[in-house]
């Protein structure tokens, strides 16, 4: 119990320190509060979001777009990564193209997607899927192609072949890399959902941010960013916790190395 | 086939086996027309200078790599694919990180037609043999090197292979663990009666374990064989006897002349 309190205190302390410094900076300088609002201004902006009943719809629609993209792009990435890693012909045919597309910042495809898919939901989910796809594809591909050959040999000498070899041995041994791919995808989808929303939406945190920018409300902009940061950190923590529950052996290997 | 080979006692027969590997654009022949016979249930240790093809021989036997020509016969049948008939133990353990100790040991049993309860009994017995019953739910990463290699040994022996190939299995372990592992291996061998091919660069280890020590020298084939007649079960203390030291000396001398003729 006591250690838990200490742990929580240690986690919160840096943020408290940051807010204190912020307060100090505000009270001892002559910066225009419209440009740099005080912490309490941001808090009031947040309260406004809650009062106007926009916060929850904003968060939920942004999260929906991010999660949908993560699921679609992630599963396609996993499937394509397995295929390009295992089938040399597909690797030769497709990987160079994927690598070319991967080199583009996902943000840069937004105008094109708007032209092709309009401002609707499908275009946004396309962008977040795009963002999730590449890290998962690349890490799955690399994870599978770099499996220790002794592991494969060991499995073969124990009677595994074809599908068993792929699903019982090769994919599981690539899991640590695949998990890294998905973890990267969590953050890239969150980035891209905001970008997609900033360029045309009627709801969502990116839209709220853009709206605050248009009316020059820095306090609201920072409030949006605060919410985003909290979502980003929680998503990453949640993912790490979740993956260590399903794959407890990954962390073991890393601790001992 | 014109050359009739007597299979009666021979479990493993190498007939003019040639194996090469390609690195870059260079093709290097590692084994050339290698012929050799192994009797059923024997423990054969294979020694030789590094790069002499000892690992290649094992990899070809397990069909991890393809031979250029020649055949390897198991009980008179040419070996075509990797299978449960030939078990393998690697120097780096090659355990499945994502499976627990007992799941690792039971891995090969999935591909046998044993019943569920027979599989359970087999795993249970091996866990007891290797002394890891308490650690059955552990993951490989939670075990020491010696423990991991014990799991790998149990895993390879669980499906009752006819031949067990071991490629410098104890080279990465400390001396104490090595000695214990040798005793464990002999004990498992006694129970299972598997034919064993054991590659090592440690002459003492080879002589302590094997019925016969074979010195190979790559393309020149077998440079000598020594039958080891120490009675079994062997105690570790035999390595201190003058007879044992004499044999070690004997092979070491052969080795020196080999190394001179094949370079550094």
pLDDT class of A200 with cuts at 50, 70, 90 = confident
Per the CB < 8 A criterion, the answer to whether B45 and B209 are in contact is yes
Interface test with B, best of A143, A149, A154, A179 (most B CBs within 10 A): A154
Residues of B in contact with A170 (CB under 8 A): none
DSSP for A192-225 reads HHHHHHHTS-SSSHHHHHHHHHHTT-HHHHHHHH
Q: Scanning every residue of chain A, which has its alpha carbon at the shortest distance from the alpha carbon of B107?
A: A158
Selecting from A158, A247, A253 the residue whose C-beta is nearest the C-beta of B108 gives A158
Distance from CA of B111 to the nearest CA of A (A): 6
In the three-class reduction of DSSP (H, G, I as helix; E, B as strand; rest coil), residue A251 is classed as helix
Distances (CA, A) of A6 to A239, A241, B192: 24, 21, 57
pTM tops 0.90: no
In the three-class reduction of DSSP (H, G, I as helix; E, B as strand; rest coil), residue A181 is classed as helix
Rounded to a whole number of angstroms, the CA Rg of chain B reads 19
Q: With CA atoms as reference, report the closest residue to B258 among B207, B222, B227.
A: B222
Distance from CA of A159 to the nearest CA of B (A): 5
Q: Which two tokens stand for residue A99?
A: 């690598």
Asked if B64 and A153 come within 8 Å (Cβ–Cβ), the reply is yes
Q: What is the pLDDT of residues B97-135, one digit of tens each?
A: 999 999 999 999 999 999 999 999 999 999 999 999 999
DSSP B241: S
Residues of A in contact with B81 (CB under 8 A): 161
ipTM, two decimals: 0.91
In the three-class reduction of DSSP (H, G, I as helix; E, B as strand; rest coil), residue A108 is classed as helix
Residues 6+ positions from B119 with CB-CB distance below 8 Å = B106, B109, B112
Asked if A158 and B111 come within 8 Å (Cβ–Cβ), the reply is yes
Scan for tokens 């050339």, then name that residue.
B32
Residue A256's pLDDT is what? Answer: 43
Residues 6+ positions from B82 with CB-CB distance below 8 Å = A153, A156, A157, A161, B62, B63, B64
For each successive 10 residues of chain B (264 residues), what is the average pLDDT? 55 93 86 92 91 90 94 93 95 95 96 95 95 95 94 96 96 91 93 94 92 88 87 87 90 77 49
Q: Which of residues 229-248 of A touch B (CB under 8 A)?
A: 247-248
For all residues of chain A together, what is the average pLDDT?
92
Q: What is the pLDDT of residues A206-216, one digit of tens each?
A: 999 999 999 99
Asked if A153 and B90 come within 8 Å (Cβ–Cβ), the reply is yes
Cis check: omega of the bond before B233, within 30 degrees of 0: yes
d(CA A193, CA A62): 7
Say whether residue A148 is in contact with chain B using an 8 A CB cutoff: yes
d(CA B254, CA B99): 44
Per the CB < 8 A criterion, the answer to whether B167 and B89 are in contact is yes
Residue A257's pLDDT is what? Answer: 40
Strands B10-23 and B43-47: unpaired
In the three-class reduction of DSSP (H, G, I as helix; E, B as strand; rest coil), residue B44 is classed as strand
Buried residues in B135-149 as b, exposed as e (16+ CB within 10 A): beebbbbbbeebbbb
Distances (CA, A) of B163 to A175, A249, A252, B81, B107: 32, 32, 33, 14, 18
Q: Give the burial class of A254: count Cβ atoms within 10 A of its Cβ; 0-12 exposed, 13-18 middle, 19 or more buried.
A: exposed
CA angle B55, B69, B36 (to 5 degrees): 55
Residue B8's pLDDT is what? Answer: 63
């Amino acid at each position: 119990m006591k250690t838990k309190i200490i742990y929580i205190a240690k986690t919160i302390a840096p943020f408290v320190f940051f807010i204190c410094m912020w307060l100090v900076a505000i009270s001892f300088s002559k910066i225009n509060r419209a440009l740099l609002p005080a912490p309490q201004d941001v808090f009031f902006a947040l309260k406004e979001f809650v009062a106007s009943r926009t916060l929850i719809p904003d968060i939920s629609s942004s999260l929906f777009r991010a999660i949908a993209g993560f699921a679609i792009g992630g599963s396609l990435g996993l499937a394509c990564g397995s295929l390009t890693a295992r089938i040399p012909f597909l690797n030769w045919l497709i990987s160079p193209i994927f690598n070319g597309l991967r080199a583009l910042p996902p943000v840069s495809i937004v105008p094109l997607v708007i032209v092709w898919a309009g401002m609707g939901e499908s275009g946004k989910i396309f962008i977040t899927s795009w963002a999730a796809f590449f890290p998962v594809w690349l890490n799955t591909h690399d994870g599978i192609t770099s499996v220790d050959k002794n592991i494969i040999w060991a499995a073969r000498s124990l009677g595994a072949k074809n599908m068993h070899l792929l699903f019982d041995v090769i994919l599981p041994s690539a899991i640590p890399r695949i998990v890294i791919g998905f973890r990267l995808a969590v953050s890239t989808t969150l980035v891209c959902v905001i970008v997609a929303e900033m360029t045309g939406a009627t709801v969502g945190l990116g839209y709220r941010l853009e709206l605050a920018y248009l009316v020059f409300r820095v306090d609201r902009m920072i409030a949006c960013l605060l919410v985003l940061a909290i979502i980003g950190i929680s998503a990453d923590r949640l993912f790490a916790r979740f993956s260590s529950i399903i794959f407890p052996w990954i962390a073991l290997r890393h601790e001992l190395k | 086939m014109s050359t009739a080979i007597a299979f009666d006692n021979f479990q493993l027969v190498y007939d003019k086996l040639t194996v090469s590997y390609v690195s870059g654009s260079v093709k290097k022949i590692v084994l050339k027309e290698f012929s050799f016979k192994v009797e059923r249930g024997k423990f054969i240790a294979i020694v030789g200078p590094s790069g002499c093809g000892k690992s290649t021989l094992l990899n070809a036997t397990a069909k991890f790599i393809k031979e250029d020509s020649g055949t390897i016969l198991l009980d008179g049948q040419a070996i075509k694919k990797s299978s449960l008939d030939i078990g393998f133990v690697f120097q780096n353990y090659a355990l499945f990180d994502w499976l627990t100790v007992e799941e690792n040991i039971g891995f090969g049993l999935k591909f046998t037609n044993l019943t569920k309860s027979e599989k359970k009994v087999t795993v249970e017995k091996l866990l007891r043999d290797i002394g890891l019953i308490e650690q059955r739910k552990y993951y490989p990463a939670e075990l020491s090197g010696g423990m991991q290699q014990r799991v790998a040994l149990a895993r390879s022996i669980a499906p009752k292979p006819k031949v067990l190939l071991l490629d410098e299995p104890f080279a990465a372990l400390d001396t104490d663990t090595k000695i214990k592992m040798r005793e464990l291996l002999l004990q498992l061998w006694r129970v299972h009666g598997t034919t064993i091919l054991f590659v090592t660069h440690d002459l003492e280890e080879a002589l302590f374990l094997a019925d016969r020590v074979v010195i190979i020298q790559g393309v020149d084939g077998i440079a000598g064989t020594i039958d080891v007649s120490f009675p079994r079960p062997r105690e570790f203390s035999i390595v201190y006897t003058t007879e044992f030291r004499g044999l070690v000396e004997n092979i070491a001398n052969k080795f020196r002349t080999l190394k001179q003729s094949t370079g550094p």
